Chain A
Amino acid sequence: MTIRRNIRIASGKRTLVSIDNFEIPENRITILLGESGIGKSLMSKALYGLLDPDELDITIDGEPYRTYLARPETATLQHESFFVFQEPSTHLNPLMPLATQMREGSLGFSKSEEAILGTLWQHSPPDDVKKILDVYPKPHRPSGGEKQRILLAMAFKKIDLLIERKQPSEHEIFVFDEPTGSLDNMYRDLFLEMLFERFRKVGFTCLLITHDYSMIEKIHTSHKDIVGKLVFKEVTLVEGKQLLEDFDTDAYLEWLHTQHPSESAGSKTSRSILLAVENGTRVFNRSLIISRDREGEHPCSLELHSGDIVYLKAASGVGKTTLVKLVMGLLRAERLKARLETMQMDEQTPRSFWHKNIWGRRMTMVFQHADEALNPESTVKGTFEGLPALKRATEARIVNILNELFDSALDASFLNKKVKHLSGGQKQRLNLLRGFALDTDVLILDEPLNGLDFESAGKVIAMLQRKQNAGKGIWLISHNEEIFDRIVRKENVYYLRAESGIEKVGPTRN
């Protein structure tokens, strides 16, 4: 039975969700796309009966939330299904070892635990997973990626119980809310493989919430047989109301295939090196090795020419963000050798050097989590105040900047809106625009497409290419490989790996 609900959620006077057609087709995997903070998680949690009726004003199909919670089918839904939360730490009980949580309630009846964990930890040393199971989860231990995999393992155990029964109940919905948010692409692909493998055995109802549009290409290339059973939906915001529409995957794939590296003026050799980072940066007793090959057999320096985009890849947690923070002088390295045109930077360079010469003048960095990178108590307009390039900027100038990524009908109320009241996608756009507005020679972007919808992602790529054509250098870190592999030239792709303890830095090849 297809689930179709009208959902209203408000907090005081603020409407958080207002949707008339929230629909989950039966025995299909619905992939729910949309920019971050638009309300995807909230409506799924409301449907699942996970919200607190005392904290929020909620109605489902016009009836009070308490009545919805009291329905027997809501209880069945919660009992028979599984909800993988976006933030794995909030899902796990810190007072119980992971092994116990893995076998709690009906999960204890599943016999597939060992096989699932073996698959999810196939790239780790054999004892790793056993050690993790004995751990009481804490915010920093195990890592976010490991916690996420534990949660996925729980969900798969529950699905395996359903497969054993061979008959899904009409009230079973498996919800995966940003299940790959803390995972790199390798584990994302592994997750998709495991999910589809089970779906091929018994079709069940599943809702996969994500803003990772690059997943679409992976599905279309590696799981063609299942595409027909998938439903792609996108949540958009129209006049303050959420709208659920079919997402045109063909249009996305067509757009993706038309992307190609932008040709900057002049050959690479004729263009100056803006930034060079020598190999063997050391921090936290680890060496960060840059190379041109994934295996890291050919270490080299990272070079960013004017009018180029370089793309740094590595698995989660290796130290991509750490490396750019070291180059930006935000962290103190044990060893660093970098050069911005004629300016040398090393581990001895005082912080005041970056203050006077680099930050906001020659280089800037857009942080990956817009939520944390922006001042929540500041207004949209206030976000641009104090920037060196916009010291006397008028409102009209700020509106011009905003128009690059926001609707053209921006009014004063939007300019005076507090950042904390923006959606995740709006925050990310604001975060990017602040960096772009500075017009520095070097722009470092850490996960620039995080939380953006397809339309905004396209605009960001176009802006990047305009910057590139204007002779600026861009350093990218992103897990959206399907997109950036197309717009970055192969020779500008670098890989990073970390080596602990004794240094083993190979010869540097420029």
Chain B
Amino acid sequence: MRLLKANIFRAKDKLWLCIWLAGLGILWLWNTLYLNPAAFARLSAASLNTLFVGILVVFLAFLFGWLAALALHFLDETRTRIPYLFLTFLFNLIRSVPQIVGILIGYVILTLFIQGDILRAQTAQLVWMSFVISVFVFLEVADVIRERIAFYMKSDFFDAMLCCGISESRIINTEILLKNSRAHLLHKLISVFGATIFLLCSVDFIVSVGLSTDVSLSNFPTTLGGLLATMDSKQDILAIGTVVTNFRNFSALFFQHLQGISTAWIIVFTLLCLYKISNGFVKRHRL
């Protein structure tokens, strides 16, 4: 109990991670008992797809961010001006596009791919969606990496290691990023995961409610945002409103309107938990 107190209750990020997992676990158990099998399969697929995209975006954003930061750093250090300016311009161009607009453009391209039978497999479509989202969020990771490098370059330990003949790439990757910036990077990746869930659900919802007749979610892999926009889920959400005027319907929410409410709850609860985990992480690591 003492160990649990020290590890979980004092570390708010760990506590909220447990709450998140427990919340999702309880919901899954409840839905296995009371949600009809077809809706349960849809909800499970949507949740897993969303989770898959979230994790893949975290991985890709880290990879792109790391490559971009290192490329800019070494081009700057070696005073290779033209490639440095070109990359800076390119990144600033990406930065200037609002994330949601950029992702919508990516969806248009995905539709074209689907129409042209280029991307048939659902996994390939999810990978494309992850790639598009990561293109518009990786610069946040790159910025953190560059800030960390710049911070340590001003310190004596960077120069002292250089004087000892330690290679600059080892100083940056091992000594600065791995040993001194893990917490900062992990914190950024948690926020990237949260942003991905939010962006994915928002865009899928926008697209599915009929932003354009050319782009339709009917051929896209199911995600939580897409599932939320289906007629059944919408009616389930509207059912919450009826509880205000007729409280007797309250218990029906948990037995008859599970699909929409579960979908909405997973999204909101996940975002809340990620926010809390992120805050707890900052506090625990004194970032």
Contact = CB atoms under 8 A, between A and B. Distances in A.
Contact of B157 (A363, A372, A382): A372
A375 B157 contact: yes
A365 interface: yes
Interface stretch (B34-42, B158-166, B247-255): B158-166
Contact of B163 (A328, A369, A372, A374): A328
A232 interface: no
Contact of B78 (A352, A372, A382, A385): A352
Interface residues of B, number: 21
A372 B165 contact: no
A259 interface: no
A410 interface: no
A359 B77 CA distance: 17
Contact of B165 (A359, A367, A376): A359
Nearest to B77: A351
A375 B175 contact: yes
Given A352-B78, A375-B180, A387 B165 contact: yes
Contacts of B160: 365-367, 372-374, 431
Interface in A364-410: 364-367, 369, 372-378, 382, 385-389
B238 to A, nearest CB: 52
A355 B156 contact: no
A327 B77 CA distance: 19
Contacts of A359: 162-165
A360 B179 contact: no
Nearest to A365: B163
Contacts of A325: 159
A435 interface: yes
Interface in B148-171: 155-157, 159-168, 170-171
Nearest to B168: A355
Contacts of A386: 161, 166-167, 170-171, 174
A300 interface: no
Nearest to A361: B165
Given A377-B179, A378-B175, A386-B170, A364 B164 contact: yes
A215 to B, nearest CB: 26
Contacts of B156: 367, 369, 372-373
Interface in A276-327: 325
Contacts of B170: 386
Nearest to A369: B156
A367 B175 contact: no
Interface string A328-356: 10100000000000000000000110010
A221 B163 CA distance: 39
A434 to B, nearest CB: 6
A359 B164 CA distance: 6
B77 A373 contact: no
Contact of B155 (A351, A363, A364, A372): A372
A378 B78 CA distance: 28
A151 interface: no
B180 A435 contact: no
Most buried by A among B78, B157, B162, B164: B164
B78 A434 contact: no
Interface in A443-499: none
A377 B180 contact: yes
A438 B166 CA distance: 11
A330 B159 contact: yes
Nearest to B164: A360
Interface in B57-82: 77-78
Given A373-B156, A386-B167, A386-B174, 10 more contacts: A352-B78, A355-B162, A360-B164, A367-B160, A375-B175, A386-B171, A387-B166, A388-B166, A431-B160, A435-B164
Interface of A: 325, 328, 330, 351-352, 355, 359-361, 363-367, 369, 372-378, 382, 385-389, 431, 434-435, 438
For the complex of A and B, 10 pairs with smallest distance between CB atoms: A360-B165, A373-B160, A372-B156, A377-B179, A388-B165, A386-B166, A365-B163, A367-B160, A386-B170, A360-B164
